[in-house]
Structure 1
Amino acid sequence: MNQNIDLVGLGIQKGLIKFDEDKKSITYIHQNKKKNYTNPEEKVQALTFLKLVLHYGYKPQRIRQFVSVKMGSDTKEADIVVYNDDECEEPHILVECKKEEVSEQEFLQAIDQAYSYAYALPNDVKYVWVTSGLRNEYFSVDKNKVSRIDEPDIPQVGVNKLENYKFVYDAEGLKQEVGKQKFSDLKVVLEEILTKQFEKAHDALWAGGQLNPSEAFDELDKLIFCKIWDERKYRRTGEPYDFQIITVDKEEIKGYIRLSADQLKEAIRLEENKRLAERVKSLYEEGRKKDPEVFRDGIRLTDERIRTVVGYFQEINLGATDLDSKGRAFEAFMEEYFRGKNGQFFTPRPIVDFVTKVLPIKNESLVLDTSCGSGGFLLYALNKVRKQADERYPDYRTNYEKALRHKSYWHDFAENNLYGIEINEQISRAAKMNMIIHDDGHTNVITADGLLNESEIQKLTKNRGFRYNRFNFIITNPPFGSTIKSKEKNYLKEYNFGQKDPDWLDVKAKSTPTPRENQSTEILFIEQCYKFLEEGGYLAIVLPDGILTNSSLQYVRDGIEDMFRIVAVVSMPQTAFTATGAGVKSSVLFLKKHKVAHTEKLKNKKMSLQAKLKKKFDYDVTLEIWDIEKKQILRDLEGFDNPFIDLSTTELKKTDEYKEWRAEVNAEYTERINNLKEELQEAYLKVKQEELPDYPIFMAIAEDIGYDATGKKTNNNELDYISEELTKFITAIDNGAI
């Protein structure tokens, strides 16, 4: 459970605090002081007070809050002072509390403020603690020598000497000795807190102007990678973690006796930062040896900035934090940063959940996302298999052998069966980190143009898994609205949708396809997914509704009909993507790949039907007769009541009257031809329905999928009901019932 929630509950239970019924006010019982709990800073102060009592062991009677401090002619107020005596005359620790949303600059100012209070108090304060709840800095104070020395923690009650680190593996397994420092293990945090940690660490990296937001995101990714790698390293009980601030003694600094107080303070800080950076970079290189594709360049942060990020994450146990919570926290932070960047609009999670829920994905399935973005579809596929492992081995938490089988069931799937392609290198890297945070699955996420052919993709990545006709499931939301031009991408000619097939009703058309100058990415991705799927494999793809409705895109719908059995069309509300920055009306198509022989049979059957209809309607002969008639009319003006009949032919063709008359004749015959074509098209649609294989298609319209246009929850997700019915429908297809 979350420690902050535990602290508040325990504080109430032990009579340290109480709340009004509406929880807008908090009362500190030992001082009988009521404060406004809606104030963000007050919440941090309340938690800090409870930690001092319940974790560090100080008596509430020796803790004073809102202590007046005389600063020249002004009177300020220190948030918390801990005393050594019951009379509260010997200050021991001074605490300055700031709200969670405090900026890096404001936090540094708070440190200076805390020190000014410490020096202004009449008796010596030994320690200063500055906290925002999300970040903590600790210092020892010696007014006669060094003004400020970093510490890993403040001491528990009765402890006179601190070790130079705070966080150790399996702290609960250590035998605690009276008067000795009590170490801490890493803690689990709530999703909301973790999201804020990501945001604050990122802001601290770029807000100073030395890094732009994009660079800051990359560097933060690297350090999170180091943090996870550190947690996974083997350690004995009581062994300290590397990803934490470890202080140094002044004796470790060469020539410290000759340094002034400020020089010594700076030398100590630099040495601490240097050693921390060395430990972090060592973790990074260890991880890169195993996964060279995750990050291709080194850590570019200064030692001081590495320390800043470590300060935000050193006490968090990312590995033990609830999988869904840490995943959503990272995705919320990541998508807030990437929203709309480079045309990136990530698929809303209710849609991702719906798609993966209805498909019969199992741990032996091969799953691909050809434009994976942040990895949402892959992660939900992984979560689906993980839940299957839970059902298969329900007692895995208490049975070691079952635990091994449980992990092997889903982890092998994550490592060997999940594949993703993302063209944007930064987003691809973020997707890999997203998978790592979710306990793996990043191995086969690559950076490449998802429309390249299989051999080109394999050349780029040396990953032989990206082969055509291999995957059981493809789940994807391809980029909308982009256009691939033949002048820029040679691979356009490799696609059938990159060619114009001759119109069966165009008698002048060439008998072979002609190259298109450009094509929409989403249309090409339909065909690319077809190539990657095995026969009988499923494709679930988010597409703009224009592909389903625009008359000019009938050839795309015909192509889909040839390549796939259309399983389902589920229409999403107009607002489905509004909250993520896109406003295109879209639907999810579920398709099942035909056998190649079946596709060829369909194509041949269609060509045969078209030929029969043209013969039945005497189409070619009729068009030829009409063409002769029209030419004859245009050549021979006699027999018509024309006011310009006496003019010579040359002069006649220059007149507006002639041009108008000629246009009318052309329009008349064009209308005849179009009417005939419409008649044949209608006849073709009818005969297709009669003679081509018929099957049911699942159709659904979702008007509310759990959130509105602003992203606010509506508590009504129609996809839940639709998914139940569609799951039954797909099961019936696989069983041969429909």
Structure 2
Amino acid sequence: MQVTDLIQRGIEAKLISIDVERKSILYRALNKKYRLSDPEELVRARAYVTLISEYGYPADQIDIEFPVPHRVPSLTADIVVFKDKARTTPFIVVECKREEASKGELDHAVEQGFGYANSLKAEFMWMTSGIRNDYFKVGNFGGMEREQNREPDIPRHGKADVAAARFTKGGVNGFDLKIVQETDLTRKFKQAHDALWAGGKRNPAEAFDELDKLIFCKIWDERANRKPGEPYDFQVFKNDRDRGDDLKKRIQAIYEQGRARDKEVFQDNIRLSNAELQTVVGYLADTNLSETDLDSKGRAFETFMTGFFRGEFGQYFTPRNIVKFIVDALPITSESAVIDTSCGSGGFLLHALDKVRRQADAMAEDGYFSRDSRQHWKHWHDFAENNLYGIEISEGIARTAKMNMIIHDDGHTNVISHDGLESIETMRQATGNQGFIPGTFDFIITNPPFGSKVKLAEKSYLQNYDLGRKDIDWIDAKMNNVRVVQKDAGNGEVIRLTFTEKNRDQQTTEVLFLEQCHRFLKPGGYMAMVIPDSILTNSSMQYVRNWIEEHWRIVSVVSLPQFAFAANGAGVKSSVLFLKRYDAKTTAAIQRIKEQTQDKLHDAKDGGTALEKLIAEKKLVLKRGDAECQRVDAEVITKAQALSEQGTLTPAIRKALKAEAEAAKAKHMETGVFAQWKADTNDDYNERIENLRETLNDQYLAEVKAEVSDYEIYMAIAEDIGYDATGRPTATNELEAVAAELSRFIAHIETGATRPFV
């Protein structure tokens, strides 16, 4: 049992008491005791304390488990508030339900409460689960009315009617917004979503999208300038029942402010009925999202969001432990420009923001400024507003990322909805955000989608990627005299590419994101990317590794366990690749070394020349055939010479002899003997050719390595990463130690040390 602040207040005021073992609760004015094992009892206790401490009703005008007349079988109302101390004139009936109650259960509870209120001739009814609260005026309304008699609140003691609005700035002449706990906020999000989903009335993703919009409106309404006592707009007003569209107009006005600021994400109108708006607003109206503890509201939203997207939307997000490891390992500061090119719900951006916020806290502890000063706020908020960028292809998820950032106190401005593989110039023009500039970012932290194919027939931008062109082995290129493609790097340097001008029909997204991230980073900038291990190990991906070697300084490879993403619905073995971008001059120098080495080895007698001779020899031997084929050819030559010496060799006879020999050879080539010879000969030459190619390639790699500056790479294998295959926490998280070591390794690299740990 969790003792909330409200329950504690009731205990201190001696309104209620809880036994030592926390098994029962006593309502002291009534001398009534009930079991706390009933999940509705704590909800009733909070409602009871609220009626006395916040609404001012005397304890002797309230009863619990009050019998309801004319109900068969005999039933009792959870709470009844009376107008008189004699408890003869019921005024308010309160119906309580457990916090986890479904929408159907709560809707039924409303009907049950109405039945009790009508039987008792009470004027008002309050249905509460602690998470959802519905207020109604029962008197002077038809027995089946459920919308026109909805109220924003119940009357306070001494008042005959309800105030125009319940929640006001500072609680003046009303109630102030309240800070809620993480579990309660998670329930609010989930139950509000379920109310919109309505068991299949609308698509779960559409319901999430609508809730997304309303949470935005809620936060922005809290931030609007108001005088003390002025009501918030994000709540049900008393006159909303008379002018049914008033709530919708207020919410839409708030939403239009967001649309004016973020047009690329706020494209659709709010698509909810008046009744649906009232329901969702009812879940969220009393909560102060701005003041609720940052970690609590962040975890609440992430818990709800992760479960929803994994279960209903077919999406998964990078586990918190992996995100934190990557951000902790990198030297991100408030001055850093940071981008996630496939940001999803914004997890990497949020952890980067949290890192800078913690840096501000540390500076406050060191006396640079106080934690509540504007300097502290500007230190992290300017970073969030100006230095954090995110790209997400899904408009709905991009909106979710923005909301996630706002819930964490902002940083949403530069999150855009766009295809992260489009040209950066196209991206900038389409969204109007001029901050997406090539070669300007210090850090990229990302987990791109794996395995998806970008097809040239569907996305013409594929032809603009180096890795979107077909690769060719350098030995084949030299032997076939394939022209090396040259590309202007844009700064006077010419980069030589190891690709043909032939476009691939398709390429995987993770490979293309490697190149797109290179475009975004400034020289010397760092990228940390979750990649499938196929890029590191598959022989078919050697051309990708070659490209990485030419364009990046490989900093680290951290292997993750097979189950790292299993709990999120993905089972691909993966690693985190840390790279530091070379400048164009360094890339061109590496490529020039490779090309010169290739030329030298190809021209060497025991290198490319020998390989060409061996290939030509194989072709000649196969053309001549085995000993029997050569015997037939020799016999034909002998006959032709004899006939020629006799002077009887005519063109017709020569042709006949040749045809006879070809027929004999063709017949022989159909035999198993010839087939075996051909297979053995092919195998022998292929092995010799392959051995020579391997020798040549080994020489090439050795000479390139000798020419190109050598450096150390931090390698780590993390087996226990703080959770198991089911997502349950474990006692150890090896990534924390790896992050600390890798951070030190990077710090040494930044000092210019070629061998950081020597």
For normalisation by structure 1, the TM-score amounts to: 0.89
* Match of residue 590 from structure 1: 578
User: Match for 2:563 among 537, 561, 575?
Assistant: 575
Alpha-carbon distance in structure 2 between the residues aligned to 1:625 and 1:289: 71
Q: Which position in structure 1 is the counterpart of 2:641? A: none
Unaligned runs of 5+ in 1: 175-181, 249-267
Q: Which residue of 2 aligns with 1:502?
A: 472
1:448 Cα deviation after fit: 1.4
Inter-CA distance 184–620: structure 2 relative to 1 (3 Å threshold): same
Alpha-carbon distance between aligned partners in 1 of 2:441 and 2:26, rounded to the nearest angstrom: 61
Q: 1:582-622 deviations in whole A, cap 9, x for unaligned?
A: 11111111111112111111122223333444455622332
**Percent identity over paired residues:** 50
1:339 counterpart SS class: helix
Give the AA of the match of 1:282: A
Distance 1:168 1:649 in 2: 102
For the Cα contact (< 8 Å) 1:340–1:581, is it kept in 2? no
Match of 2:592 in 1: 604
CA-CA distance at 1:61 after TM superposition: 4.4
Q: CA deviation at 1:68?
A: 2.9
1:140 alignment partner AA = K
- 385, 390, 400: which one pairs with 1:420? 390
Is contact 1:187-1:316 (8 Å) kept? yes
**Structure 2 counterpart of 1:254:** none
- Choose from 192, 208, 214 the match for 1:201: 192
Match of 1:234 in 2: 225
Report the more deviating stretch, 645-654 or 318-327. Answer: 645-654
Of 35-44 and 529-538, more deviation after overlay is shown by 35-44
Q: What corresponds to 1:135 in structure 2?
A: 132
User: 2:441 is matched with which residue?
Assistant: 471
* DSSP 3-state at the match of 1:79: strand
- Native 8 Å contact 2:165 2:236 kept in 1: yes
**1:219-250 deviations in whole A, cap 9, x for unaligned?**
222222221121111111111111111113xx
Contact between 1:502 and 1:509, CA under 8 Å: does it hold in 2?
A: no
For the Cα contact (< 8 Å) 1:396–1:406, is it kept in 2? no
Residues 1:144 and 1:332: Cα distance change in structure 2 (over 3 Å): closer
The amino acid across from 1:404 in the alignment is: R
- What is the CA deviation profile of residues 362-396 of structure 1, one whole-angstrom value per residue up to 9, with x for unaligned ones? 22211111111111111111222222223334599
1:629 is the counterpart of 2:601: no
Q: Distance in 2 between matches of 1:136 and 1:639?
A: 97
Aligned residue for 2:179, secondary structure, equals: coil
What secondary structure does 1:475 align onto? strand
> Residue in 2 aligned with 1:511?
483
- Kept in 1: contact 2:341–2:392 (CA 8 A): yes
1:41 aligns with 2:40: yes
CA 1:88–1:348 in structure 2 vs 1: closer, same or farther (change >3 Å)?
same
Are the counterparts in 2 of residues 397 and 403 from structure 1 also a CA contact under 8 Å? no
Shift of 1:725: 1.5
Shift of 1:630: 2.6
For 1:25 and 1:547, how far apart are their aligned partners in 2?
61
Contact kept in structure 1, 2:68 and 2:74, CA below 8 Å: yes
Q: Which amino acid letter does the alignment assign opposite residue 482 of structure 2?
A: K
Letter paired with 1:588: V
User: More deviation in 140-149 or 536-545?
Assistant: 140-149
| Partner Cα distance (2:455, 2:715) in 1 | 34
CA distance in 1: counterparts of 2:611 and 2:117, whole angstroms: 99
Change (3 A) 1:708 1:16: farther
Equivalences for 1:546-561 in 2 at 5 Å?
546-561=534-549
Deviation at 1:136, TM superposition (A): 0.8
Aligned to 2:639: none
Q: Does 1:211 align with 2:202?
A: yes
Corresponding residue SS for 1:319: coil
1:488 aligns with 2:462: no
Q: Taking structure 2 as the reference length, what is the TM-score of the superposition?
A: 0.87
Residue 320 of structure 1 corresponds to 291
Q: For residues 300-341 of structure 1, what are the alpha-carbon distances to aligned partners after superposition, in whole Å with 9 as ceiling and x for unaligned? A: 211221111111111111111122222222222222222277
Residue 73 and residue 298 in structure 1: after superposition, are their counterparts in 2 closer, same or farther (change >3 A)?
closer
- Which has the higher mean CA deviation after the structures are superposed, 608-617 or 198-207? 608-617
Distance 1:166 1:618, change over 3 A: same
Q: CA deviation at 1:563?
A: 1.0
- Rounded to whole Å, the distance in 1 between the matches of 2:536 and 2:244 is 59
* Structure 2 alignment gaps of length 5 or more: 485-499, 634-660
224-233 or 605-614: bigger deviation: 605-614
2:327 is the alignment partner of 1:373: no
Change (3 A) 1:654 1:306: same
The answer to whether the Cα contact below 8 Å between 2:402 and 2:412 also exists between their aligned partners in 1 is: yes
Alignment partners' CA distance in 2, 1:156 and 1:654: 105
Map of 1:253 onto structure 2: none
1:169-226 Cα offsets, whole Å, 9 max, x none, are: 012xx4xxxxxxx511111111221121111111111216543222222222222222
In structure 1, give the amino acid aligned to 2:546.
D
Residue 434 (str. 1) matches residue 425 (str. 2)? no
- Name the counterpart of 2:426: 456
Return the offset for 1:272.
4.5
Question: What amino acid sits opposite 1:137 in the alignment?
Answer: D
Give 1:329's match in structure 2, choosing from 300, 321, 329: 300
Q: Distance in 1 between matches of 2:581 and 2:446?
A: 15
Q: Distance in 2 between matches of 1:484 and 1:398?
A: 50
Shift of 1:469: 0.9
1:558 deviates by: 1.8
Q: CA deviation at 1:86?
A: 4.6
In the other structure, the counterpart of 1:300 is 271
Number of equivalent positions: 704
* 1:127 Cα deviation from its structure 2 partner: 2.2
Indicate if the aligned counterparts of 1:4 and 1:47 stay in contact, CA closer than 8 A.
no
Any idea what SS the aligned residue of 1:167 has? Answer: coil
Q: Is the 8 A contact 1:273 1:307 kept in 2?
A: no
Do the aligned residues in 1 keep the contact of 2:155 with 2:163 (CA within 8 Å)?
Answer: no
Alpha-carbon RMSD across the aligned residues, in angstroms, is: 2.8
Is 1:291–2:279 an aligned residue pair?
A: no
In 2, distance between residues paired with 1:478 and 1:625? 46
Q: Which segment is superposed worse, 55-64 or 106-115? A: 55-64
Hey, what's the Cα distance between the residues in 2 that align with 1:406 and 1:330?
A: 25
Partner residue in 2 for 1:164:
164
SS in structure 2 at match of 1:405: helix
Cross-structure match for 1:708 = 724
Q: CA deviation at 1:347?
A: 0.9
Change (3 A) 1:547 1:84: same
Question: For the residues of structure 2 that align with 1:337 and 1:101, how far apart are their CA atoms?
Answer: 17
Partner of 1:403: 373
Distance 1:111 1:581 in 2: 39
How far did residue 463 of structure 1 move?
1.8
Q: Which moved more, 1:31-40 or 1:272-281?
A: 31-40
CA gap 1:144/1:721 in 2 versus in 1, 3 angstroms? closer
1:377 and 1:435 map into 2 onto residues whose CA distance is 11
The aligned counterpart of 2:488 is none
Distance in 1 (alpha carbons) for counterparts of 2:629 and 2:82 = 116
Task: Assess if the C-alpha contact under 8 Å between 1:567 and 1:592 holds in 2.
Answer: yes
Contact 2:221 2:234 in 1 (8 A): yes
- Deviations 1:129-169 (CA, angstroms, capped at 9, x unpaired): 10011111122332698886333222333334431211000
Report whether the alignment pairs 1:541 with 2:529.
Answer: yes
Find the aligned partners of 2:482 and 2:258 in 1 and give their Cα distance: 58
